[in-house]
Every structure is written in structure tokens, then in C-alpha cells.
Amino acid sequence: MRVVAVLGATGGAGATTTVAHLASALAAQPRTALALDVCPANALRLHFGMAWAEEGGWARHVLDGQDWQTAAWRDSQGRHFLPFGTLDEGRALAGLAQWLGERPGWLRDRLGELQFEDGAVVVCDAPAGPSAWRDQVLAAADLVLMLCAPDTLSYAHATRFVDRARHQGFGGRASPEVVIVLNGFDPARQLDRDIALLLRTQYKPVFSPVLVHRDESLREALACKQTVFDFAPRSQAAHDHAALGTWTLARLGQIVQGMQGGQALAPAPEQRA
């Protein structure tokens, strides 16, 4: 089993949407895939048709001393997802964050206990900023997809995160590989093209060749509580996320080969003044 963490360089970069669609793309391979929400916002479930009023999730199960795995759901298309659940933004949420902070390898250990077949992939939605939730995901991940919106602030945060990961790591075990994914790309916009060019030239070894284009179908699909694969299967967004799924599997394969061979996968990104 492999774990892919998806983080947004900034809020609104599209991490939650990407998790839902990447997990769906992997499930269509077909491959066992689980979309796991590790964000207190608890929004991932909406892409899979879960009712807004439904409050169940793994966080509540942990607080209640129940088996966290039993909070998993399966949507009408047979795709598996595990919602965070609804917690009061007060004592319960803070208490769980503190509890997880004292157990840095909790999620990694729990995922290791899952009875998944070889080749299964868990895709995790993690918060953008430093937190107990993000630390848990980074400690478990084999690959981190850093979602970068085509704007200056997102570019700055994404590249800074990559640089820190390469030189400082995240502490604990060997750091996962981090790759930047440009999300919401519009080729008609000059700034979008400029940022894509900067990433291709200065961060090519850690830049995904798959660009996820801006597509209104994504917002419309969410309004219907569906993924774009169900709502608009011939859309640009469906094509892009299917390609991202195929590329992610290939990258995970390279990571496995790199670990077996004991060699680094790519050189550090070239730095430009």
C-alpha cells in the first residue's frame, strides 16, 4: 500500500477536489483506492454524495474510542472514502489535535494495519498550513503532491515548501518526495503561462508534467455532489485528472524502485536568482 498526500500551497488551491478526483481516477484503473479526509473542514465527502447533515467520521470515532476504520463509506460508484467528521470548533477539536500531536506516527501505524491488497493507494487531503493534521499525513506519505494555483502567492509558498522539504525534511523518518502540481491552469492567461514556465525551468525535477486546467465542470460537479467523472466524463477536467492518476502511479513505481536501489530519484531543483 502507498500513501499520497495532497496539500494546497495556499487555501483554495484545490487540494480537496484533487483528492476526490485522484482517488476516483485510481479506482477506475481499476485499483483499490481510499480517499481519506484529514482536514477538520470535512469537505471531501461532498464530492462523493454524502449528505451535509451527516456528521459521522473517523475523528469522532477516535474520540469515542471506536474503531476509526468503521467510519469509512462507499459511494454509489463503489468508491471508498473516509470522512473526517463533524467536531465542534472548540474543546473536542483542540483535544484531538493535542492527542495526535503527542502521537506523531499514529496515522502511519493505523494505515499500516489496513487489510489492503498490494498496489492499493490511500489519497489524503491535508490542511495547507502547519498543524497536527498535516504532520500526521506527512509522516505517513510516500509522495506529496503540492497543489499550486497559477498565482504569485501560491507559487511562492509551493516552491518554498519544496525547498524546505529537500534540505530540511519533515523530521522523523525519511522525507517523502514532494512534487508540485499546477492546478487551475488557463493557457489564455499570461501569468498562468509565466508561472508554468518558471516551474518547468527552475523546478523541472519536481514539477508534474500533467497540468490540471481550469474547468467550470469541477464546480458544477460539486454542486451536484459528484465527481467530474460522473458529471462530465468527456470534460477537460476529467481528462486531466485521469492523466494525473496514471502519472501518480508511475511516480510511485519510481519511488519503490528508488527505495529498493537506495538511490535518490531526482537531483535538487536548480536555483535561480
pLDDT digits (tens, 9 = 90+) for 212-238: 999 999 999 999 999 999 999 999 999
Query: Mean pLDDT across the chain, nearest whole number?
Result: 91
Q: Are 221 and 231 in contact (CB under 8 A)?
A: yes
Buried residues in 237-253 as b, exposed as e (16+ CB within 10 A)? bbbbbbbbbebbbebbe
Domain residue limits, the chain: 2-261
Q: What is the pLDDT of residue 272?
A: 37
Q: Name the CATH topology of 2-261.
A: Rossmann fold (3.40.50)
Phi and psi torsions of 184, nearest 5°? 80, 30
Q: What is the pLDDT of residue 129?
A: 86
Whole-number Å distance between alpha carbons of 251 and 141: 13
Q: What is the pLDDT of residue 173?
A: 59
Residues 187-202, mean pLDDT to the nearest whole number = 98
What is residue 72's three-state secondary structure?
coil
Instruction: Tell me 80's DSSP state.
Output: E
Whole-number Å distance between alpha carbons of 201 and 270: 8
Whole-number Å distance between alpha carbons of 250 and 94: 38
Per the confidence metrics, is the pTM higher than 0.85?
yes
Cα–Cα distances in angstroms (integers) from residue 77 to residues 178, 227, 239, 266, in the given order = 30, 10, 18, 37
> What is the residue type of 103?
R
Q: Are 117 and 151 in contact (CB under 8 A)?
A: no
Q: Are 234 and 249 in contact (CB under 8 A)?
A: no
* 143-148: strand order across its sheet: 73-74, 80-82, 33-37, 121-125, 2-8, 143-148, 177-185, 212-213
Residue 248, pLDDT > 90, answer yes
Q: What is the pLDDT of residue 269?
A: 43
> What is the residue type of 54?
E
> What is the residue type of 5?
A
pLDDT tens by residue, 69-87: 999 999 988 899 999 999 8
Whole-number Å distance between alpha carbons of 137 and 129: 12
pLDDT band, very low/low/confident/very high, at 35 (cuts 50, 70, 90): very high
Residues 89-118, mean pLDDT to the nearest whole number = 91
| DSSP element (H, E) containing 122 | strand 121-125
